[in-house]
Amino acid sequence: MVQVSRLTGKTLELVRQAWYALTEWHSADEFLDRILPIINGAQVQTAALTDAYLAALISEATGQFTAPIGLAAEQVTDLRRNTTMAAAYERPFPPSGISSPLGLSSRRPSA
């Protein structure tokens, strides 16, 4: 699906921009504040596109109209077990009070 591919590409671009724009490398808060709304939105949009695609496919296969299910945002974004989105996306950051062994947490990446 072309739309999903475009959405994925744009999402990755926005997350990459958020990463390179960081001013605080010792805390994930700034990064999470920027990317979680982007990722949540992309997940909801991807689910809606997939829902519509599958409904159209079923309609074509059966010859009868099948409406998309229409998932709520929570049904899409709360699928991880035993972890939150924030916990998953803060993993590139060192635990509180621990610096990177190479000092990378204090250096800005080159673009």
Residue 111 falls inside a structural domain = no
Q: What share of the chain is helix, strand, coil (3-state, %, to 5)?
A: 60, 0, 40
Residue 10 falls inside a structural domain = yes
Q: pTM higher than 0.75 for the full model? A: no
Residue 80 falls inside a structural domain = yes
Residue 105 pLDDT: 44
| Residue 44 belongs to domain spanning | 2-106
Longest dimension (CA), the chain: 61
Structural domain tally of the chain?
A: 1
Please count the other Cβ atoms lying within 10 Å of the Cβ belonging to residue 90. Answer: 15
Residue 71 falls inside a structural domain = yes
Residue 87 pLDDT: 81
Residue 7 falls inside a structural domain = yes
Residue 100 pLDDT: 47
CB 51 within 8 Å of CB 70: yes
- Enumerate residues 6+ apart whose C-beta is below 8 A from 107: 25
Residue 23 falls inside a structural domain = yes
Residue 67 pLDDT: 96
pLDDT by residue for the chain (111 residues), tens only, comes to 799 999 999 999 999 999 899 887 777 888 999 999 999 999 999 999 999 999 999 999 999 999 999 988 888 877 677 778 888 887 777 665 555 444 444 444 454
